Amino acid sequence: MDAYRVKPGAKIKLEDWDPKDDRLFQAGKEEAAQRLKELNEELETLQEILFAEHKHKILIVLQGMDTSGKDGVIRHVFEGVNPQGVRVASFKVPTPIELDHDYLWRVHQQAPGKGELVIFNRSHYEDVLVVRVHKLVPEKTWAQRYDQINAFESLLAEAGTQILKFFLYISYDEQRERLQARLDDPSKRWKFRLGDLDERKLWSEYQRAYEDVLNRTSTEAAPWYIVPSDRKWYRNLVIGEIIVDKFRKLDMHYPQPEENLDGVLVV
């Protein structure tokens, strides 16, 4: 899965990446579903140890264009994890109170504590994506934020947070099909906004903004992964493999009881 990792200092162009890529698992969709089930079960156990050990912190960042599948990843990859130790944080339009603070203020409050797994459904990167594309602040302001974000993530990492960032990369044609499917399905129409079409017109601007994010903020402590996402099953499998691998490398263990329980009998 390291093939999808953006190496620090790299200069990638999204046009060189294939959102339909499935080369690392060509056994097929059904076999992928079985593999994802196995990953779900392992992740469930690993997350329980994470919570019990109360030592490590995990932050997962999900970014992508509309319909890229952020909600789908949360639903499928994290199926079965104990909600007691897992949180999903979504970052929408800032409130008046949030606007009175620096843009990272609301984000820091949502960072994981010891034993926690936190998933950012969109994130602080909106402040160099939407803010940039819509010219909500001067370029001089948002241009400084790449270094500020790197420093923020470095702070989290040095304090023990494991960070994984996923860009869910879909094609222009795939987005059209998914938006149309939302519009055609009465049970999904509630997700459709006319504003989605306005955002779609800015596709090229968003691609350039994402390229700068990937090139300037993928670090050893907080790497970006470009996840081919036209095929939903492959998207979920790639992300599941990477997350479980990260958990395994933490070498976690259930904590020992506070007292010697040898010979204790419950009657």
Give the CATH number for residue 59.
3.40.50.300
Residue 73 to residue 55: CA distance in whole angstroms: 25
User: Is 261 a domain residue?
Assistant: no
Strand order in the sheet with 224-228: 5-6, 224-228, 161-169, 57-64, 117-121, 86-90
Query: Is there a domain that residue 263 lies in?
Result: no
Sign of CA dihedral 30, 80, 58, 92: positive
Burial of 43 (0-12, 13-18, 19+ CB in 10 A): buried
Query: How far are the Cα atoms of 48, 95, 136, 183, 249 from residue 101, in angstroms, in the given order?
Result: 35, 10, 16, 37, 37
Residue 26 maps to a domain: yes
Q: Three-state SS string across 73-90, please? A: HHHHHCCCCCHHHEEEEE
Per the domain annotation, does 266 fall within a domain?
A: no
pLDDT at site 259? 82
Distance CA 255, CA 240 (A): 25
Model confidence, pTM: 0.95
User: Do residues 77 and 236 make contact, with C-beta atoms less than 8 angstroms apart?
Assistant: yes
Does 28 map to a domain? Answer: yes
Residue span of the structural domain in which 210 resides: 2-249
Domain count for the chain, please give it. Answer: 1
Among 19, 13, 81, 22, smallest CA distance to 46 is for 81
Q: Report if residue 256 sits inside a domain.
A: no
In a domain, 95, yes or no: yes
Instruction: Tell me if 257 is assigned to some domain.
Output: no
pLDDT under 50 in the chain at which residues? Answer: none
The DSSP H or E segment spanning 224 is strand 224-228
